Structure 1
């Protein structure tokens, strides 16, 4: 009897990519984005490779129009890139169905918006509770968690204040508490200090860094504000759709 042993050859590059996917909170490979206007095609992102380790604070910096917000939207699963792959927490979101992607975002990503995006008719606590309710946490448990999160961001005495009665820094703290609702593994922030003065902006980012480190979350911050570089673990720079990571 003749025994035949077949040997499957495995591409070392595919092994490396698989290992990266398992160890990186955020990983992009060759991400490109083009928008068409009539007969013209505008290349906004050009072969973006980015990797962010779990628990890191990653800044994404660059001038207006450099492609930062477009990249953030792709990483958040709000836009589909023209080419390339995006892996979050080891999952390739660029191949997910719309339903699975929406569920993944809800369970794993907390967002902080430039304009706060708080509901003006709701109190600080109710703004946080609303996110918890969407995630299936309701009733007394949601109220207790909202209270705890607002205490963590220094707003224990402002839980019943509506956004119109809060300063810019306090509104951003509510936004951070809301982003942390449900303990997301990823926090993505778009220009979180744009509406704040220097002191408030630095305090908010430092608070976000401390809370994220304690919870083990990974934070990606899109900004053109150089005042907050010192709180980052890593900084990447974008210009004309090209990324340089340091």
Structure 2
């Protein structure tokens, strides 16, 4: 375990939910028996079918599969943004499926950094201001937030673009700002939804390599939904989802 992780308490022992614990790894992200159904006009669509998944602490995991396979739905459930129809999700040893909305919001704020396909930056704010907002949410403000934001932008190679607005940045630079923002609260988990889809091959690979190196340095666990085969070499493991089920 890296030095940056030593301040965190060890994960709690998960309860026995009837799974074969000899083959079930206790990880930073654990899904047990996840099912998800959506109802529309008296019809029921089962999007996820009995998902069991364990992602090791400090690893980079890609979740791949065809469009409509349920990848974004699964990511949303694993991030605590959606509640599954059945099953349990444990993040850092905590049963997030048993948390209230307020508890979930606090947990996400303290432990998860999000990265999106379309960057989700505030267009009227500069790069450094976009990062500062994430720190403000954590309760860090003023000169301390400014200095930390500047350091984060230096880490992603954007110290010279700190005062530029998103409209003046390339796609790769915007995603670097988004990575800096995601890392602002020192999250233990990073959830990324198609982070390279809007980037060309060179920029996409550079961004993923940067995310990998920063995540490894900080001891983060990264789960990334992607269609992009260009970035598979950056992953520790690849999981395939098809027709709502995991495939080997």
TM-score (norm 1): 0.91
1:16 to partner: Cα distance: 3.5
- Are 1:52 and 2:55 matched, yes or no? yes
Q: Distance in 1 between matches of 2:68 and 2:113?
A: 24
- Are 1:180 and 2:183 matched, yes or no? yes
Q: Deviations over 1:182-216 (max 9, x none)?
A: 10000000000000000100000000000000000
1:118 to partner: Cα distance: 0.2
After superposition, residues 19-168 of structure 1 pair within 5 angstroms as: 20=25, 23-168=26-171
Q: Distance in 2 between matches of 1:210 and 1:134?
A: 25
Aligned to 1:6: none
Q: Secondary structure at the match of 1:160?
A: coil
Q: Secondary structure at the match of 2:61?
A: strand
Aligned to 1:3: none
1:39 to partner: Cα distance: 1.3
Q: Distance in 2 between matches of 1:112 and 1:77?
A: 15
Q: Distance in 2 between matches of 1:177 and 1:14?
A: 38
Q: How has the CA–CA distance of structure 1 residues 43 and 140 changed in structure 2, closer, same or farther, with 3 Å as cutoff?
A: same
Larger Rg: 1
Structure 2 residue corresponding to 1:236, chosen from 236, 239, 242: 239
1:243 to partner: Cα distance: 1.1
Moved beyond 2 Å, runs of 4+: 10-17
Backbone CA RMSD of aligned residues: 1.7
Q: Deviations over 1:39-76 (max 9, x none)?
A: 11000000011110010000000111110000011011
Q: Distance in 2 between matches of 1:112 and 1:29?
A: 24
Q: Distance in 1 between matches of 2:50 and 2:219?
A: 29
TM-score (norm 2): 0.91
Q: Which runs of 5+ in 1 are unaligned?
A: 1-9
Q: Deviations over 1:19-58 (max 9, x none)?
A: 95xx410000010000001211000000011110010000
Q: Distance in 2 between matches of 1:67 and 1:152?
A: 33
Q: Secondary structure at the match of 2:195?
A: coil
Q: How has the CA–CA distance of structure 1 residues 11 and 162 changed in structure 2, closer, same or farther, with 3 Å as cutoff?
A: closer
1:13 to partner: Cα distance: 5.4
